[in-house]
Structure 1
Amino acid sequence: MDFMNYYMPTKILLVEDVVLKNSSLFNNFGEKALIVTGKTSSIINGSLSDVTSVLQKEGILYDIFNSVEENPSLETVENIAELGRVQKSNFIIGIGGGSPIDASKAAGVLINNPTATRYNLFDSPHLKSIPVIAVPTTAGTGTETTPYSIVTDNELQTKRGICQRVFPEYALLDVKYLMFLPAQITINTSIDALSHLVEGYMSSKANVVSDALAEKGLKLFGECLNMIKEKDFTCIVREKLMLASTIAGMVIAQSGTSLPHGMGYALTYSHNIPHGKANGVLLKSYLDFCLDENKVRKILYLLTLENLDDLGDFLNAMLGSVNTVSYEEMCSYADKMVLNNDKLKNHTSPVTREDILKIYTDSLKI
């Protein structure tokens, strides 16, 4: 066996009322917290109320930034950091889906390094963040167990990852926060988790531990497949999807994502296609392109599917087609993607512009 290095320092707690039952852990990080969340979902699902109540119980002061948009911009990250610097926040609690938690990680780096600017998020990997605690309220990004933070760079007109590695100190999982999610958001985020599992499993950086995790995550997803088709999102199904998402984060923390993620960023930025859908519409053609047939067969087996056409039918039924992207735009996106060495090197064989363009044209109806 080749040398293997596995590191995932986040402590994961999954239990009903996880925040309320573990209020003392917040005392480990300082006297002043900054809560980062979106506008409404954390109010509706009760997560914000749970967090503020335990902070009050423990005598920890806090400020709230509740204006994180979907696919958070660097401008939003700067605004969060400015609040944290002014208020001298000791730690951040990110509540929500990938957007608030990713924004928390990036802002944490800027808060901890007062002279740093947004540009240092991409050229100074040695910078550290203040502690981040993740309270996920969707089951998709797995950011609660990854070191990654994906932000929107409007100057470059794309989404990109910061170069610092920021693992949350804790991931506090409670399925009750998922119970109010609309069906389509549940589907889109679950497909995001599926894309993490698939891309991480097929990655050139996969190892025996990440593969074992990916296989467990794929099995959990497969157990939910029929209920996803029926949009029957019971508490049991949502808990399995939450586990699959968190496990998927543990997978890509080691092996990274690959072509669908890199290719999907353009669809999200330029066409406002939700991140999970942008990845999902590319998955079938991506797996057609993968050379490791044994792993592809194992994915299908764990998902309880017969072949890649069945996977394509499932994804099309759940996500719908994408027919708003012109051939000229696909060519432009392929030109940019072929320069994305971070994603290309995660594929196990050489990738050409023509390969990328074929995945786009096979996946996007024009």
Structure 2
Amino acid sequence: MISTVAQPSRILIGAGARHKAGALVAEVGGRRPLVVTDSFLAGNGAADELVQTFADAGLSAAVWSGTVPDPTTDSLAAGLAAVTAHDADVLVGFGGGSPIDTAKALALLAVSGGAMAEYKAPRSNDGPALPIVAVPTTAGTGSEVTQFTVITDSRTDEKMLCIGPAFLPAAAIVDYELTLTMPARLTADTGIDALTHAIEAYVSRKANRFSDGMSLTAIRTIGSALRRVYADGSDRQAREAMMLAATQAGIAFSNSSVALVHGMSRPIGAHFHVAHGLANAMLLPAVTRYSVPAAEARYADCARALGCAAADDDDATAAQALVDELEALCNDLAVPTPRSYGIDERAWRQKIPTMVEQAIASGSPANNPRVPTPDDVAAIYSEIY
């Protein structure tokens, strides 16, 4: 089998790498970068620090801080105006997954035009688009190295998965020092998001030898670091480990795929405004339990990498250990159920048919080792509530 591997042409990794942002933008041909970020990073001085590196490199930079959590099609209009006003030739996505996903969408729309709904999966988007430099401030989404963006349709509340090389950053900066102030809840949610990426990339029907290696390495690292960094956010060694693992998991699923967890989590986020990583965490144990019979050996490999099964455990024992460990991890990291999160049961039940339809339509469930029927998806939504 021939596999095509795609990742940014340049990735700077390590403490202080953000100080090289100006030189990196110049390397990809940028002279007028627009920093796409949120109001928090614009207000705490972090965006100003980045802009100073551009000034030091002789570049003319501007900041647009209008990104919103779980970006919507409506939220892109002001961003497009900012791109035009600055005559930007490169977009710097600075923040968590939402600013980086927003930068990806703006990069395509600014050059190719049209509406975001025209670019949703299963269409593969080649561009043209502005180059993107991604600078993540959370350790989880992996968006800095992926060919995906997720934008919610403001009219229908559908979280649209958009795929293709047009969304792949030209370069990325992976500096764990940007994550040192993450609160425990965000640390947990983004950490489980990264773990979900790695597991799904490994068990996906589109997995390959390249993505397999990245997946297992990320799982192994997360198994040793996530509880540590949740308990002590100042643990620099664990922060560095999680940041690198999130990037590795991102490369893995970008070159394989995500599967049922992600297909089901996007509608939860769209309809109930649950953060993406947290929605994944709500689903991960139940979806894994459902999927294990179709790929017992693959899930067993994940268990051994995570450290919850021994090398000489048989596959059935190891795969069950993985399910048990994911349940324990979610308990240790205080992951709520939809009920304990505060979602009304009647509203949840009423939305299940729509969520099932949107989950299946995203295409991600078709990558799952056990491909679900609509009734299966509905049953899992009911189970996790």
| 1:135 aligned counterpart, secondary structure | strand
TM superposition shift of 1:320: 2.1
CA RMSD of aligned residues (A): 2.1
Identity of aligned residues (%): 25
Task: Tell me: CA distance 1:117–1:180, structure 2 relative to 1, closer, same or farther (3 Å).
Answer: same
Length, aligned pairs only: 361
TM superposition shift of 1:76: 1.7
Q: Given the alignment of the two structures, is residue 293 of structure 1 paired with residue 296 of structure 2, yes or no?
A: yes
TM superposition shift of 1:101: 0.6
Question: Which shifted more, 329-338 or 345-354?
Answer: 329-338
Within 5 Å, give how 1:81-100 maps onto structure 2: 81-100=80-99
Task: Tell me: CA distance 1:262–1:58, structure 2 relative to 1, closer, same or farther (3 Å).
Answer: same
Contact conserved, 2:264 with 2:359, CA < 8 A, in 1? Answer: no
TM superposition shift of 1:333: 4.0
Deviations 1:175-197 (A, max 9, x none): 11111111111111111111111
Amino acid of the structure 2 residue aligned with 1:152: T
Task: Tell me: CA distance 1:76–1:194, structure 2 relative to 1, closer, same or farther (3 Å).
Answer: same
**Distance between the aligned counterparts of 1:158 and 1:116, measured in 2?**
18
TM superposition shift of 1:321: 2.1
**Distance between the aligned counterparts of 2:221 and 2:75, measured in 1?**
35
Question: Which of 301, 304, 308 matches 1:305?
Answer: 308
TM-score of the superposition, structure 2-length normalised? 0.88
Q: Match of 1:321?
A: 337
Q: Match of 1:179?
A: 180
Contact conserved, 2:33 with 2:62, CA < 8 A, in 1? Answer: yes
TM superposition shift of 1:272: 1.7
Within 5 Å, give how 1:3-18 maps onto structure 2: 3-18=2-17
Within 5 Å, give how 1:30-179 maps onto structure 2: 30-41=30-41, 43-44=43-44, 47-113=46-112, 115-122=113-120, 125-165=125-165, 166-179=167-180
Amino acid of the structure 1 residue aligned with 2:184: A
TM superposition shift of 1:78: 2.3
Task: Tell me: CA distance 1:264–1:121, structure 2 relative to 1, closer, same or farther (3 Å).
Answer: same
Q: Match of 2:376?
A: 355
**Distance between the aligned counterparts of 2:257 and 2:22, measured in 1?**
33
TM superposition shift of 1:109: 0.8
Q: Match of 1:331?
A: 352
| 1:206 aligned counterpart, secondary structure | coil
| 1:349 aligned counterpart, secondary structure | coil
Contact conserved, 2:229 with 2:235, CA < 8 A, in 1? Answer: no
TM superposition shift of 1:262: 1.2
Deviations 1:35-77 (A, max 9, x none): 1001113553x54133111111122112211121110111222
TM superposition shift of 1:142: 0.2
TM superposition shift of 1:332: 1.4
TM superposition shift of 1:3: 2.9
Amino acid of the structure 1 residue aligned with 2:111: N
TM superposition shift of 1:124: 7.8
Q: Match of 2:314?
A: none
**Distance between the aligned counterparts of 1:350 and 1:17, measured in 2?**
43
Contact conserved, 2:69 with 2:98, CA < 8 A, in 1? Answer: yes
**Distance between the aligned counterparts of 1:61 and 1:334, measured in 2?**
44
| 2:370 aligned counterpart, secondary structure | coil
Contact conserved, 1:11 with 1:170, CA < 8 A, in 2? Answer: yes
Deviations 1:74-108 (A, max 9, x none): 12222211211232111111100000011001001
Contact conserved, 2:205 with 2:369, CA < 8 A, in 1? Answer: yes
TM-score of the superposition, structure 1-length normalised? 0.92
Amino acid of the structure 2 residue aligned with 1:116: G
**Distance between the aligned counterparts of 2:59 and 2:223, measured in 1?**
42
Task: Tell me: CA distance 1:27–1:126, structure 2 relative to 1, closer, same or farther (3 Å).
Answer: closer
Amino acid of the structure 2 residue aligned with 1:359: I
**Distance between the aligned counterparts of 1:61 and 1:225, measured in 2?**
39
Deviations 1:253-280 (A, max 9, x none): 1111111111111211221211111011
Contact conserved, 2:108 with 2:128, CA < 8 A, in 1? Answer: yes
**Distance between the aligned counterparts of 1:95 and 1:49, measured in 2?**
11
**Distance between the aligned counterparts of 2:231 and 2:124, measured in 1?**
47
**Distance between the aligned counterparts of 2:188 and 2:53, measured in 1?**
31
Amino acid of the structure 1 residue aligned with 2:87: K
TM superposition shift of 1:128: 1.9
Question: Which shifted more, 102-111 or 335-344?
Answer: 335-344
